[in-house]
């Protein structure tokens, strides 16, 4: 099928395009982008679907470097099918899925299973992230080389830190040899043990055990030191504190090759969301304070934080209905991430182009040629609207206001602290590898 998207506001940071024009898609690839002044995009086939995108953003499909799809083993929380449907609904055409499944993705056979299920049932591209250590137990390295060959694009023990510094050193050494990022869940579990929210006055008032911000920061500092020692490829997951932003900024200024992500909940809300023992606001790392939110925004603005990822962590409703201490951590994020990030554009924290960079181009750059090798795609085929790139495109109605209604999420995870919020800007069409999904 051919699709011509006409008169949209095209934003493609990979080509410094930010203006009105048309995008032509043929089968699974981008054929071309035309600005208003250039000639008509030519297509010979009469089987052409034309979409008028006047007043809408037309952007490369978003890439989420941090998604929990839960399959295999935890299908009661989410499946590859429901998770990727939530992705395309939220404007994501690629998700990288974390290994904390059952069994853990610590072996090529699990990676192959995920890729097979994704090719059978997935609505978008899925790239697995392998575990750093066997069983995510933090004791013995997993077979990183074999898993990379099977299709893993990065390695992480997400959900848990690698507490053993020697193992983390070795993982970073391997990351250099194999050219894969190590995504670090930074948490010193001795400092955070038993904690269920941010440590401070509010945790004391609520009678809940806190996790101090330094539990994150000492590990960010350790991992930066190990990245400097090894020259390995460190990517810091879900940055939540002012101190972490400062450490990452300093490290980058010193020329250490690291990247970092944050998530919409860390720049949209504070620990106040926990008041009333709202388990939908229980997440790890925990929601922090106003000064942390401001620091994260500053870090996004000045480029310290490269990426906005979702940390989409779906849980079943009855699990979140348990007492705060016993409810699992996590927020279902795929269906609100873009709208929450558009608020940063409205506030003037980011330009629309910078937002697209952080949600599409930068993840593509970090994963680089890795998101190409397995499906034998060409390098640079995602995160861009360049001719020949994958036909991954999102059309966003930036004016439309809507109410977040968790029970209407297509994800199985209805666990969001944003339920009932009024947000502005929503994908109306997502095209993933040439397949079109219309929402409104």
Binding site for ligand DOR (CB under 6 A): 68, 100, 158-159, 185, 283-284, 313, 328-330
Q: Per the structure block, which two tokens stand in for 132?
A: 């750093």
Nearer to ligand DOR, 68 or 233 (CB): 68
In the complex, least distance from residue 66 CB atom to ligand DOR, rounded to whole angstroms: 9
Q: Report the C-alpha gap between 163 and 136 in whole angstroms.
A: 11
In the complex, least distance from residue 253 CB atom to ligand DOR, rounded to whole angstroms: 28
Query: CA nearest 423: which of 264, 237, 254, 282?
Result: 264
In the complex, least distance from residue 155 CB atom to ligand DOR, rounded to whole angstroms: 15
- Residues with catalytic annotation? 311
Radius of gyration of the chain (CA): 21
Q: Strand pairing of 29-35 and 17-26?
A: antiparallel
Query: CA nearest 108: which of 144, 154, 72?
Result: 144
Terminal-residue alpha carbon distance, the chain: 21
In the complex, least distance from residue 409 CB atom to ligand DOR, rounded to whole angstroms: 16
Note whether 299 and 249 are within 8 A (CB): yes
Positive or negative, the CA dihedral 298, 300, 306, 309 is: positive
Q: What is the DSSP string of 326-393?
A: TSPP-B--TTTHHHHHHHHHHHTSS-HHHHHIIIIIHHHHHHTTHHHHTTTPPTT-SS---TTSB--E
In the complex, least distance from residue 419 CB atom to ligand DOR, rounded to whole angstroms: 17
Three-state DSSP state, 433: coil
Q: Strand pairing of 435-438 and 17-26?
A: unpaired
Note whether 63 and 92 are within 8 A (CB): yes
Three-state DSSP state, 220: helix
Q: Report the C-alpha gap between 289 and 240 in whole angstroms.
A: 9
Query: CA nearest 425: which of 331, 332, 330, 356?
Result: 356
Residue 406's CB is within 10 A of a number of other CB atoms, namely 19
Q: Report the C-alpha gap between 146 and 134 in whole angstroms.
A: 13
In the complex, least distance from residue 328 CB atom to ligand DOR, rounded to whole angstroms: 6
Q: Report the C-alpha gap between 404 and 147 in whole angstroms.
A: 38
Q: Report the C-alpha gap between 362 and 4 in whole angstroms.
A: 26
In the complex, least distance from residue 77 CB atom to ligand DOR, rounded to whole angstroms: 8
DSSP structure class, residue 13: G
In the complex, least distance from residue 314 CB atom to ligand DOR, rounded to whole angstroms: 8
Q: Report the C-alpha gap between 148 and 71 in whole angstroms.
A: 19
């Amino acid at each position: 099928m051919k699709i011509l998207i006409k008169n949209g506001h095209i934003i493609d940071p990979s080509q410094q395009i930010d203006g009105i024009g048309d995008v032509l898609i043929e089968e699974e690839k981008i054929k071309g982008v035309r600005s208003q002044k250039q000639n008509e995009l030519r297509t010979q086939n009469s089987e052409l679907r034309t979409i008028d995108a006047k007043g809408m953003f037309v952007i490369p499909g978003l890439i989420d470097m941090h998604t929990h799809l839960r399959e295999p083993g935890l299908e009661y929380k989410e499946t590859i099918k429901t998770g990727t449907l939530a992705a395309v609904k939220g404007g994501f055409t690629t998700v990288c899925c974390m290994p904390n499944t059952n069994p853990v993705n610590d072996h090529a056979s699990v990676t192959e299973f995920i890729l097979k299920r994704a090719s059978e049932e997935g609505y978008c591209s899925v790239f697995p992230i392998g575990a750093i250590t066997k069983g995510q137990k933090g004791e013995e390295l997993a077979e990183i080389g074999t898993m990379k060959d099977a299709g893993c694009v990065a390695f992480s023990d997400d959900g848990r830190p690698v507490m053993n510094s020697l193992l983390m050193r070795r993982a970073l050494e391997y990351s250099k040899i194999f050219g894969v990022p190590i995504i670090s869940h930074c948490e010193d579990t001795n400092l955070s043990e038993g904690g269920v929210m941010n440590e401070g006055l509010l945790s004391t008032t609520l009678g809940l055990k806190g996790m101090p911000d330094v539990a994150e920061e000492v590990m960010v500092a350790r991992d930066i030191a190990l990245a400097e020692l090894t020259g390995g490829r460190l990517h810091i997951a879900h940055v939540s504190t002012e101190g972490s932003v400062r450490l990452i900024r300093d490290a980058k200024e010193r020329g250490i090759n690291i990247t970092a992500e944050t998530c919409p909940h860390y720049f949209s809300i504070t620990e106040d969301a926990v008041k009333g023992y709202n388990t939908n606001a229980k997440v790890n790392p925990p929601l922090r304070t106003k000064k942390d939110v401001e620091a994260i925004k500053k870090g996004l603005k000045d480029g310290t934080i490269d990426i906005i990822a979702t940390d989409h962590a779906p849980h079943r409703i009855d699990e979140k209905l348990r007492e705060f201490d016993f409810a699992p951590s996590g927020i279902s994020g795929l269906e609100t991430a873009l709208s929450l990030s558009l608020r940063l554009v409205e506030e003037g924290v980011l330009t629309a182009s910078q937002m697209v960079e952080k949600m599409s181009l930068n993840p593509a750059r970090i994963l680089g040629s890795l998101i190409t090798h397995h499906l034998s795609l060409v390098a640079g085929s995602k995160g861009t609207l360049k001719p020949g790139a994958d036909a991954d495109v999102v059309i966003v109605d930036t004016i439309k206001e809507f109410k977040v209604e968790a029970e209407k999420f297509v994800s199985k995870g209805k666990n969001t602290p944003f339920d009932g919020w009024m947000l502005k800007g929503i994908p109306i069409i997502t095209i993933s590898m040439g397949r079109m999904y219309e929402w409104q």
